[in-house]
Structure 1
Amino acid sequence: MKIKVKYFARFRELAGVSEEIIELPNGSRVSDLIEIIKERHPKFKNEVFAQNEDADVNVSRNGSYVSFDEELKDGDVVALFPPASGG
């Protein structure tokens, strides 16, 4: 299945692209997608997941926030956002 991945803010800089299509086997979850992203984009892996394999990453699937356990479907659009900061 094909998943469109969109990167926002700092994640866009680390991935070096604003979006891409990633192919995954049927039944894959967000966590599987994250593993492929880490393989494709070493800067993303090294800076976001360097200290913590469960790094604080906001993930939306088709406009709704989801967990890393969420199952993906062909044609989904997944967006990755860094945690919000400020005060």
Structure 2
Amino acid sequence: MRIRVRYFARFRSLVGTSEEELEVPDGIKVRELIEILKERHPVLKNEVFAEDDDLADVNVSRNGSYVSFDEVLRDGDVVALFPPVSGG
């Protein structure tokens, strides 16, 4: 199945593009997609996900709604990666 991944803020700068389309296995979860993205863009592994299970440094939306890392993706989904937001 095909999905589109959109990168925002720091992620866009690190991977050098604002979006890309990927062919991924049917039934893949967001957590598994992130593993694919770390292999595809090693800078994410080194700069963002320094530890194996460190997903605290990313917010993920699917088709415009924030989702958990266990969310199952479907063909045609648009997944967006955002850095955590803080403010005061």
Instruction: State whether TM-score is above 0.5.
Output: yes
Name the counterpart of 2:17.
17
Q: CA RMSD in A?
A: 1.1
Name the counterpart of 1:54.
54
The one-letter code sitting in structure 1 at the alignment partner of 2:83 is P
What is the CA deviation profile of residues 11-46 of structure 1, one whole-angstrom value per residue up to 9, with x for unaligned ones?
111111110011111111111110110001111111
**Any unmatched runs of 5+ in structure 2?**
none
The one-letter code sitting in structure 2 at the alignment partner of 1:5 is V
What is the CA deviation profile of residues 21-78 of structure 1, one whole-angstrom value per residue up to 9, with x for unaligned ones?
1111111111111011000111111111114622321000000000110000000000
4+ residue runs of structure 1 moved beyond 4 angstroms? none
TM-score normalised to the size of structure 2? 0.92
TM-score normalised to the size of structure 1? 0.93
The one-letter code sitting in structure 2 at the alignment partner of 1:41 is H
